[in-house]
């Protein structure tokens, strides 16, 4: 058997070394030993980049706008499944006047899809706000230029 005292001293020695290494680490770059690249944030995009990002997010939101889960269909290969499909079809024919209520009960609200929409919504609205801010900045620059030209024309 190994000596428990020797094992405990080795563990404490390793803990001290790890603690010393942790204190020496100042940044993640120092830990990884190379520079970490990241995607530019929305605030770093130019006007065209913001527009492209906004439409990309809008396209994702449009594609996934329905948060209802899909109806589950029975497999087509089995005899029992075919019989159940016919029975289900017959049931729907009989309950046509209240079919909307039946379909609503079968479909459930999909929280995962709603979470995806919420995660896409925030950058979409941020891109819209930043685009409007950049338009406002452009208008302010143009207004200053027009006022400057007007003052120069009045002086002449």
Task: Give 5-46 pLDDT, tens digit per residue.
Answer: 888 899 999 999 988 888 877 776 667 766 666 666 776 778
Q: For residue 14, what are its two tokens?
A: 């390793």
Assess contact for 117 and 61: CB atoms under 8 A: yes
Q: What is the pLDDT of residue 94?
A: 74
- Residue written as tokens 């200053």? 144
Q: What is the pLDDT of residue 148?
A: 94
Q: What is the pLDDT of residue 89?
A: 76
Exposure of 148 in the CB half-sphere (CA atoms within 13 A): 6
Q: What is the pLDDT of residue 77?
A: 66
Q: For residue 34, what are its two tokens?
A: 């190379």
Radius of gyration of the chain from its Cα atoms, rounded to whole angstroms: 32
Angle made by CA atoms 139, 144, 137, in degrees to the nearest 5:
30
Task: Find, among 57, 39, 40, 38, the residue nearest to 127 by Cα.
Answer: 57
pLDDT averaged per 10 residues in sequence order, the chain, 156 residues: 79 90 74 68 77 81 63 63 77 68 57 75 84 90 94 88
Q: What is the pLDDT of residue 93?
A: 73
Give the C-alpha distances (Å, rounded to integers) separating 71 from 64, 89, 125, 132: 16, 14, 31, 41
Contacts of 65 (CB under 8 A, 6+ apart): 117
Task: Find, among 83, 71, 65, 74, the residue nearest to 120 by Cα.
Answer: 65
Assess contact for 131 and 51: CB atoms under 8 A: yes
């Amino acid at each position: 058997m190994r000596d428990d005292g020797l094992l405990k001293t080795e563990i404490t020695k390793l803990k001290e070394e790890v603690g010393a290494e942790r204190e020496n680490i100042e940044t993640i770059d120092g830990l990884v030993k190379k520079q970490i690249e990241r995607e530019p944030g929305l605030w770093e995009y130019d006007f065209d980049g913001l527009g492209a990002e906004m439409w990309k997010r809008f396209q994702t939101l449009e594609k996934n706008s329905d948060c209802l889960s899909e109806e589950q269909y029975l497999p087509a290969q089995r005899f029992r499944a075919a019989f159940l499909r016919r029975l289900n079809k017959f049931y729907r024919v009989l309950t046509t006047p209240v079919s909307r209520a039946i379909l609503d009960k079968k479909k459930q609200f999909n929280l995962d899809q709603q979470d995806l929409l919420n995660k896409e919504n925030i950058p979409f609205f941020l891109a819209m706000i930043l685009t409007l801010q950049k338009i406002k900045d452009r208008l302010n620059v143009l207004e200053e230029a027009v006022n400057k030209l007007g003052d120069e024309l009045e002086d002449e």
